[in-house]
Amino acid sequence: MSSQSQIRVADAPALVEAAGLLAAGKLVAFPTETVYGLGADATNGEAVAGIYAAKERPSFNPLIAHVADLEAARGLGQFNADALALASAFWPGPLTLVVPVATGCPVSSLARAGLDSLGLRVPDHPVALGLLRAFGAPVAAPSANRSGRVSPTTAAHVAEDLGERVGMILDGGPTTVGVESTIVSCLEDLPRVLRPGGVAREEIERVLGRALPQEDAPSEALLAPGMMASHYAPRARVRLDAKYAQPGEAVLDFAAPMQAADEAPRRNLSPAGNLAEAAANLFAHLRALDETGAGCIAVAPLPTHGLGEAINDRLKRAAAPR
């Protein structure tokens, strides 16, 4: 069976079939507004183990449990006032809340990597929500790529990376946000951003009515283990803040194109300099440039405000030594 053959247009019959596969302990890849997820029944430890195996992911890395609405989320985790305010403001949407696990929470401890906290998210995508409603239980889902590789923003990316390891890939077209959810921990009095993502820090601070401390990513290694320095790595080396491209380099522009040799393969994250468009294009453009076989990708400087924080974070990880 070719890896493309699991890709299914996400119509109603496909959603029912996909929910059946989840109930049988199989893996289903599905689109969210951020990136494609590799889903399994979060309450089934064996099914969750299948995610770690397919991704070749270190098993100490906890997974996000996806649910259809806040009510379902409150059955799994304990929401303090900040968590409630953030959930009300941004769900469904690209925000993951880390909260203390509720007593009797059915999410398998393997999905939580043994932690007594839980990452919860209500995705803003008709296919993801349709699947969650059809299945009726939490779905554990990391990004549907092999561990350490660029996250998938199309069904074809998932097929390339995971192929026959997935029971079905629901195709909902390219994702719109393009970077993963922002992860906010609500375990202590002061919420903390563990991973910048699709909801800008400024928007979170506005809802909370106070500023959140800026933290260095490396110190988060234990709190959000997925934040390893060399996450999101293409095969090519990545050179950041490039003003012009050197011979042989592929080019990732933002806004005005940088100077390069005529034949350099190049993509522009957003010719208009729009950060939302840049986020949506980021992973697909990195993949496309990587596939040209160039040894290095020269990346233009990007603004650091708003969604720029998440984009720069992913680029820094892609450029980290490995």
Q: State the residues that interact with ligand TXA by CB under 6 A.
A: 32, 34-35, 37, 61-64, 94, 96, 98, 112, 115, 117-119, 121, 123, 141-143, 180-181, 183, 194-195, 223-227
CB closer to Mg ion, 44 vs 143? 143
Instruction: CB nearer to ligand TXA: give 180 or 313.
Output: 180
Q: Cβ neighbours of residue 97 under 8 Å, at least 6 residues apart? A: 73, 77, 79, 83, 86, 87, 119, 120, 121, 184, 186
Distances (CA, A) of 62 to 40, 193, 246, 271, 307: 13, 16, 40, 37, 24
* Residue 157 interacting partner from ligand TXA, Mg ion, none (CB closer than 5 to 8 Å by kind): none
Q: Which stretch binds Mg ion (CB under 5 A): 50-58, 126-134, 141-149, 216-224?
A: 141-149
Q: Does 270 bind Mg ion (CB under 5 A)?
A: no
Query: Residue 29: in which H helix or E strand, if any?
Result: strand 28-30
**Cβ 273 to ligand TXA shortest distance, Å:** 24
- Which residue, 32 or 270, has its beta carbon nearer to ligand TXA? 32
Tell me which of ligand TXA, Mg ion, none is bound by residue 37, counting a contact when its beta carbon lies within the kind-specific cut-off of 5 to 8 angstroms. ligand TXA
* Contact partners, residue 94, CB within 8 Å, separation at least 6: 33, 34, 123, 124, 177, 179, 180, 181, 182, 197, 198, 199
Task: Give 143 or 185: the residue with its C-beta nearer to Mg ion.
Answer: 143
d(CA 142, CA 135): 18
Rounded to a whole number of angstroms, the minimum distance from the CB of residue 286 to ligand TXA is 16
Residue 64 contact among ligand TXA, Mg ion, none, beta carbon within 5 to 8 Å by kind: ligand TXA
Provide the Cα torsion 121, 124, 127, 131; round to 10°. 30
Q: Output 143 or 270, the one with its CB closest to Mg ion.
A: 143
Binding region for Mg ion (CB under 5 A)? 143
